[in-house]
């Protein structure tokens, strides 16, 4: 069997590997862009298969495509959806900015599979990759449509469930730790008391807000560019094609999609995509804060706060025996940094909606899907191997709180800010409790000291001692 076969396109002949399911245009792109080795992920290829499947069915129902051809194309596209031929999607992320090469990769592979089923002759062309598989479409509306579908599937099916599990785990800890009063900290310095449960409740609320933002972003991604064809005008497609095809896409994906209100906006701009990436970026900021806080609260075991104990999941040093590090927090922080970098790439990409077409779509799609994937994975690992196993050191929390000079804030209403400041300074200087200094200075009766310096009420609104 020869190593290559000869395929042709509008530029002439191309040598294509004999066993490849793709054709000339894919081969040219593979030769033109040997840049990174990065490929479109499974979710993107799945979504692209859905577009081709939905389009074939729509064209058939509108009398544009013969039923036998439509059936062959849809069957082949289903194989793409199912992941049977991912190895045939060989093109680099860094390619033509419209993603035309990848659209043609799909068209050629599906045409080959459909022809094999249609007439038993693998490389004969009763089904044409452009005329039939790409009917009523252009790369310029297919790729942005695929971007939205893939992102929504990834967000709805992978990231949002992982976030909800993390939110629930943080909420559980907020309940378990609600009776533990400890030093608050602002500017990393001692501040008025808080409950450890309140801190974890704040983390749970951050995740809940992130979920809401992502749900809103996913709603924006419901709008699809399909039907705009080359420039947003809809040339070369049936007037009812978007309606039919997008209804099919909703059925295939199990998610709701709708036609773009304005096809010129949907193809020339990627604003909804940038907005969704912004929600991921905000989520990364939240997760970075939570991961960092847990590092600070668990720092020790002797020279840091050490108010909580993080699970010991692996040895922390190749030279220091017994050292254990907050590795899950560090992994989360690196994940968040990557997501923030991806958002910068998507932001720059969104700026290149030049006239009627954005020309940085492949890299935007790659960054979006990577961000969703690594955030989901990091959230699950962080929850399972860190959050769920956190324990509180109640004795340590009491010890540090007793020496916290900011407890003197509770004295403001009783003895005034200036005198309370004097008490706080004297307590801090001597590493003594505010209670001891108050007694020494004979500023208040013992009963009033006990009432005012009861730390639990300090964690709620109100004036201490009243």
**So which residues are the catalytic ones?**
187, 317
Q: Is 320 left (phi over 0), alpha (psi -120 to 50) or beta?
A: beta
Alpha-carbon distances, residue 148 vs 210, 274, 364 (angstroms):
19, 11, 11
Q: Is 105 left (phi over 0), alpha (psi -120 to 50) or beta?
A: alpha
Structural contact between residues 366 and 93, judged by C-beta atoms closer than 8 angstroms: yes
Q: Which of 35, 48, 120, 18 lies closest to 369 in space, CA to CA?
A: 48
Q: Is 317 left (phi over 0), alpha (psi -120 to 50) or beta?
A: beta
**Structure tokens that stand for 421 in this block:** 């400041």
- How far, in Å, CA of 84 to CA of 381, rounded? 29
Q: Please provide the DSSP assignment of 69-124 as one string.
A: HHHHHHHHHHHHHTTTTGGG----SSS-TT-HHHHHHHHHHHHHHHHHHHHS-TT-
**What residue ranges in 315-401 does DSSP mark as E strands?**
353-354, 357-358, 391-392
- How far, in Å, CA of 308 to CA of 293, rounded? 11
3-state secondary structure 160-171: HHHHHHHHHHHH
At residue 285's C-alpha, the angle toward residues 279 and 287, to 5°, is 105
- DSSP three-state, residue 3: coil
- Give the number of other CB atoms < 10 A from CB of residue 318: 6
- How far, in Å, CA of 321 to CA of 371, rounded? 36
- How far, in Å, CA of 104 to CA of 204, rounded? 45
Q: Please provide the DSSP assignment of 379-392 as one string.
A: HHHHHHHTGGG-EE
- How far, in Å, CA of 335 to CA of 378, rounded? 7
Structural contact between residues 151 and 369, judged by C-beta atoms closer than 8 angstroms: yes
Give the DSSP H or E segment for 463: none
- How far, in Å, CA of 460 to CA of 433, rounded? 22
């Amino acid at each position: 069997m020869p190593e290559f076969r000869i395929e042709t396109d509008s530029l002439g002949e191309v040598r294509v590997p004999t066993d490849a399911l793709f054709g000339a245009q894919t081969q040219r792109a593979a030769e033109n862009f040997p840049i990174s080795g990065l490929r479109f992920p499974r979710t993107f290829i799945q979504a692209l298969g859905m577009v081709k499947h939905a389009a074939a069915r729509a064209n058939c129902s509108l009398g544009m495509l013969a039923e036998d051809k439509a059936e062959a194309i849809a069957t082949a596209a289903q194989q793409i959806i199912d992941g049977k031929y991912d190895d045939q999607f060989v093109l680099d992320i860094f390619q033509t900015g419209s993603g035309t090469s990848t659209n043609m990769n799909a068209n050629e592979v599906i045409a080959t599979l459909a022809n094999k089923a249609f007439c038993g002759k693998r490389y004969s062309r009763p089904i044409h990759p452009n005329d039939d598989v790409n009917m009523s479409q252009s790369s310029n509306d297919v790729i942005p449509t695929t971007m939205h579908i893939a992102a929504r599937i990834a967000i709805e099916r992978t990231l949002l469930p992982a976030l909800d599990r993390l939110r629930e785990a943080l909420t559980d800890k907020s309940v378990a730790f609600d009776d533990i009063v400890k030093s608050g900290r602002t500017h990393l310095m001692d501040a008025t008391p808080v409950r450890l449960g309140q801190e974890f409740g704040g983390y749970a609320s951050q995740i809940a807000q992130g979920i809401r933002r992502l749900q809103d972003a996913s709603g924006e991604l419901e709008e699809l560019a399909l039907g705009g064809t080359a420039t947003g005008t809809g040339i070369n497609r049936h007037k009812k094609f978007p309606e039919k095809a997008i209804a099919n896409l909703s059925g295939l994906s199990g998610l709701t999609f709708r036609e773009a209100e304005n096809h010129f906006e949907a193809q020339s701009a990627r604003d909804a995509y940038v907005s969704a990436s912004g929600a991921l970026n905000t989520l990364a900021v939240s997760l970075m804060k939570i991961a960092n806080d847990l590092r600070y609260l668990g720092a020790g075991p002797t020279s840091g706060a050490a108010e909580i104990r993080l699970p010991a999941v692996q040895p922390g040093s190749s030279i220091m025996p017994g050292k254990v590090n907050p590795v899950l927090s560090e992994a989360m922080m690196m994940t968040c940094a990557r997501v923030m970098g991806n958002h910068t790439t998507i932001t720059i990409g969104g700026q290149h909606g030049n006239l009627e077409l954005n020309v940085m779509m492949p890299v935007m799609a790659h960054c979006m899907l990577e961000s969703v994937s690594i955030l989901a994975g990091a959230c699950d690992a962080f929850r399972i191997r860190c959050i769920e196993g956190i324990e509180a050191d109640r004795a340590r929390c009491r010890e540090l709180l007793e020496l916290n000079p900011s407890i003197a804030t509770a004295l403001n209403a009783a003895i005034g800010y200036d005198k309370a400041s004097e008490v706080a300074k004297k307590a801090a200087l001597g590493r003594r409790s505010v209670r001891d200094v108050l007694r020494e200075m004979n500023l208040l009766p013992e009963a009033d000291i006990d009432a005012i310096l009861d730390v639990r009420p300090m964690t709620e609104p109100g004036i201490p001692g009243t």
